[in-house]
A and B are shown apart, each in its own frame.
Chain A
Amino acid sequence: MSNTPATPLLTDIITNHARNEASSIACSFQPRGPETALHLTYKALVEKVEVRAKLLTLLGYRNKHVALLFPSGLEFIVDFLACLRAGVIAIPLNVTRNAKQFERTLTILEDAKVKAILTTADTQKSLCKQLTETQGGHESDFIWIDEHYRTLEDIDIPAVTSDQVAFIQYTSGSTSSPKGVMVTQANIVHNMQVMQQSCQHPKGAVVGGWLPQFHDMGLVGHMLLPLYLAGRYVFMPPMSFIQRPSRWLKLISQYRIFCSAAPNFGYEHCVNLIRETEDLSDLDLSCWKIALNGSEPVSASTMQQFSQRFYHLGFDSNAFFPSYGMAETTLFVSGGPKGTGVQSITVDKALFELGRVETKADGVKVVCCGAINDDFTVRIVNPDTFEICRSNETGEIWIAGDSVAAGYLNQPAKTADEFYAKLSSGDPQTFLRTGDMGFILAQQLYISGRIKELLIVRGRNIYPYDIERTCRSYRYAAKGNGAAVFSFQRDSQTKLAAIVEVSRQALADNKLSRMTDDLKAMVTEEHEITLDRILVVPPGTIPKTTSGKVKRTACSALL
Chain B
Amino acid sequence: MKFCKQTLTKAISQYLSEAVEEFSAEQHLDTSFSRLGLDSTGHVQLSAIIEDHTQVEIEPTIAFDYPTINSLIQFLEKKSVQAVEVA
Q: For B51, what are the chain A residues with a Cβ–Cβ distance below 8 Å?
A: 243
Distance between A376 CB and nearest chain B CB, rounded to angstroms = 34
Residue ID in chain A nearest B31 by CB atoms: A517
| Stretch among B38-46, B69-77, B78-86 lining the A interface | B38-46
Q: Please classify the interface of chain B as helix (H, G, I), strand (E, B), loop, or mixed, using the class held by over half of its residues.
A: helix
Which listed residue (B31, B32, B35, B39) contacts A528, Cβ 8 A?
B39
Task: Name A235-261 residues within 8 Å CB distance of B.
Answer: 237, 239-240, 242-244
Is residue A525 within 8 Å, beta carbon to beta carbon, of the partner chain? yes
Partner of B48, one of A243, A517, A520, A530: A243
Q: A residues within 8 A CB of B32?
A: 521
What's the nearest-Cβ distance from chain A to residue B58, in Å?
8
**A536 CB to nearest chain B CB (Å):** 15
**A273 at the binding interface (Cβ < 8 Å):** yes
Tell me whether B64 and A97 are in contact (CB under 8 A): yes
Contact between A530 and B35, CB atoms less than 8 A apart: no
Given known contacts A243-B48, A273-B45, A524 and B34 CB-to-CB distance under 8 angstroms: yes
Do B37 and A240 touch (CB < 8 A)? no
**Nearest chain B residue, comparing its CB with the CB of A273:** B45
Q: Could you say which of A243, A458, A530 contacts B37, with CB atoms under 8 Å apart?
A: A530
**A32 contacts chain B at the CB level, 8 A cutoff:** yes
Interface size class on chain A is 20 to 34
Closest A residue to B47 by beta carbon equals A243
Contact of B30 with A by CB under 8 A: no
Q: Which of B31, B44, B57 contacts A239 (CB 8 A)?
A: B44
Q: How far is the CB of A491 from chain B (nearest CB, A)?
A: 14
Check A243–B60 contact: CB distance below 8 A.
yes
Number of interface residues of B (CB under 8 A): 19
Q: Does A529 contact B (CB under 8 A)?
A: yes
Q: Evaluate contact between A242 and B41: CB separation under 8 angstroms.
A: yes
User: What per-residue 1/0 map shows which CB atoms of A17-59 lie under 8 Å from chain B?
Assistant: 0000000000000001000000000000000000000000000
How far is the CB of B64 from the nearest CB of chain A, in Å?
6
B61 interface contact, C-beta 8 A: yes
- Tell which of B39, B45, B61, B64 touches A530, judged by Cβ atoms closer than 8 Å: B39
CB distance from A510 to the nearest CB of B (A): 15
Contact assessment for A524 and B44 in the assembled complex, using a CB-CB cutoff below 8 Å:
no
What B residues does A242 contact at CB under 8 A?
40-41, 44, 60
Tell whether A524 pairs with B39 under 8 Å between CB atoms, given A97-B64, A240-B60.
Answer: yes
- B36 surroundings in chain A (CB, below 8 A): 520
Are A525's CB and B39's CB within 8 A? no
Q: Provide the residues of chain B in CB contact with A32, threshold 8 Å.
A: 57
CB-CB < 8 A to A524: which residues of B? Answer: 34-35, 37-40
In the assembled complex, how far is the CB of residue A411 from the closest CB belonging to chain B, in whole angstroms? 30
5 new A-B pairs (CB below 8 Å) besides A244-B48, A520-B36, A530-B34? A98-B64, A242-B40, A458-B39, A517-B31, A530-B37
Residues of A within 8 A of B (CB): 32, 97-98, 237, 239-240, 242-244, 269, 273, 458, 517-518, 520-521, 524-525, 528-531
